[in-house]
Structure 1
Amino acid sequence: MKYALLLLALVSNLAIADQCQSDKLSIHKNFAMGRFNTCEVSAAGHYRLTLKPENLPINPSPWYALRLESSQAQQIELELLVEHGKPRYLPKVSVDKQHWQPVDYQIDGSSMHIQLALPKGTLWLAGQEIMDDEDYQQWQQQLEAKGLESIVLGQSVQGKPIEGLISRADSQDWLIMIGRQHPPEITGAMAMTHFVDEVMEESAQAMALRKRFNVLLVPNMNPDGVHAGNWRHNVGGVDLNRDWFSRAQPETQAVHSYLQKILADGGKIRFALDFHSTHRDVFYTMPTDYGLTPPELVDNWLAQLAEAIKPYPVNIKPGHNKDRGVFKQYIADTYGVHAVTYEVGDNTDRQDIANVARAAAQQLMDVLKTLP
């Protein structure tokens, strides 16, 4: 009876909203990328959090991020219960939201169980490292210090700026790189930062590329969805990487309008990359016989990359999706040039991400210099 009354008291202290509150612990989501839907005390020291998608139908990638404020050192168990999907992202913890370590977990159907030894104070737990708008702003400032021009291409559904960065050249040729169409895909975002940093180095190779090609970067295509911790969509409920032909969303409209302006000003789109995450490293390419010129450009690039990083595998999956509205198909069909979707595994070693991305940038710069 005494235990039942104690449990009832714990539950009565619980707020099923932006935080989960008991006498010794509060669990919060009131920060950028913070995400869970409901929280309840299932027993003393046991907390069940539900994870629900922003809308349906959806390609399920259940994201979660929470901040735990503990009044004392204690042991707890978290159950993350996924609705409309199964757990994908493996839990990591941080005391400063900058340095992350994996923690043990068990998956049982749609639930993930995590045993945590909480210190007194603050602990962050998330499905991947948190990379939010503040991180992008810091990176953008570093690139601006190297001479890149910051522009606003348009606004998101909620009015946030769709920001771009431009490295200008003495030519009409353009390279396009975009990222973060899908909010939780952190490893793809990591790869983009390493890739771009290599392109912006002061090496002879990088400086020659920047002299020949203008470069447009759009690091965060989905600022609303990233801030909200969405699983997949923008706040309009749409997968942006299915919206490139219909362009029903302001985010895709903004980038398309700028690319059309490049053409109207006499420019030429010559190559494009979009960065993503999935269950393994893979490069989604357009088929060699699709009619793009030169047809072997991407084959040559990835063959050189495979040689440069062997025995690390380079997985290549050619294909076209005329009816799906994906970015690489849009680039190929609208501008008649190669585009590649650069996918990084969710659990790929972080140093491998950096090494492969920098090597990929080096080999692509080498291949692009052969373009007429």
Structure 2
Amino acid sequence: MLLGKDEKHSNGQITHFQAFFTAISATVGLGTISGVAIAISIGGPGAIFWMVITGLFGMSVKFAEVTLGLKYRTNEERVGGPFQYMKHGLAEIGLPKIGMVVALTYAILLIIAMICGGIPFQANQVAALFNNLFQYDKSFIVPLILSLLVWLVIMGGVKRIAKVATSLAPIMTVLYIIGCILIIFMYRDALPSALYSIVSGLFGKTAIGGGAIGSLIAGVRRSVFANEAGTATAAIAHYATQENEPVRAGCVAMIGPCIDTIIISFLTGIVILVTGFTTQNNNIEGIVLIKSIFSSISPLWGYVIFPFITLSFAFSTIIAYSYYCEVAWVYVFNSRKSIILCHILILILIYISGLSQDVKLISSLGDTLFMCLTIPNAITIYLLSKKVGNQLNSYIQKGLL
């Protein structure tokens, strides 16, 4: 499905591959990596288990979101995704006014969450890493450069964003996984005790609380901030895909939580545990901690490859978030001319957050805002669950599955 033939006669502008990696770019960001370190520091090793469980549930949720997004896609609408299935889907079951209110509320929350939560966290961690790497005295340099790079991409619209995402995400994902595997192999003697610590801390009070918080902080931060299942943002990316079969698009979207949470976040957690950096480096947090771990492979990994991976992850996430923000902005204000204001806000927040030293405050703000997105979306998916089931049954009956 992911690499299959796209339907050129559909309403979409980009391919399945591009839509998938645009969505992946938004989820496989620094929340999925540095956020894991924060989650473990708060909830203990047992939090890793709850991250994986959240990812498994997230696959089903993301399937429903994207399936509904394409089911209610229309030629008349200039923007699409969750707005359409909230507005038209709820109207279809006799709740037109509620649908309009829910869609508008979601769009406003999405703008706030991206501008004040998701984008600032990525920018902050990039700045923190490169300031630590080069020991910059002038901390404004990194956020300024990052702002300019983001501006150059987002001005090109969804096609340019998709092109950049598909160029960066696959390579960086593979490189990061290889790096994690190398570290685990180097510290393989500590692997049994690391796995035991996850099991032993699984049902402890701090583990359960940390698992829930970790899902937010580490990027659903597992289901909200990491794989974003429940926030409906993937429906925006897949809305633009060249596909007329909603269930097929939903199946492609399901792969996302598996990659970013079940694989990448889990590997990151294991890497942190086998190296013991959580206890050795209590004064280091977030992305700087992960950089220190990758430096144990070799200076090349710690000072060249990992920073390049980090920048790519963060940059692709920021441009994907910017696109989501643009779409919500157009829905709320019904005007593409005002998007320039949206761009200005994004660039200002990138710069300001890059100067901040308080990563936990920024990550907590992001967690809260992303969690707010799940409320209108969860209500809508629950009310439209029969529609999802009907779509799946129809797809099966056609012999397509």
Normalising by the residue count of structure 1, what TM-score does the alignment of the two structures yield? Answer: 0.24
Higher-strand-fraction structure: 1
Normalising by the residue count of structure 2, what TM-score does the alignment of the two structures yield? Answer: 0.23
Higher Rg of the two aligned structures: 1
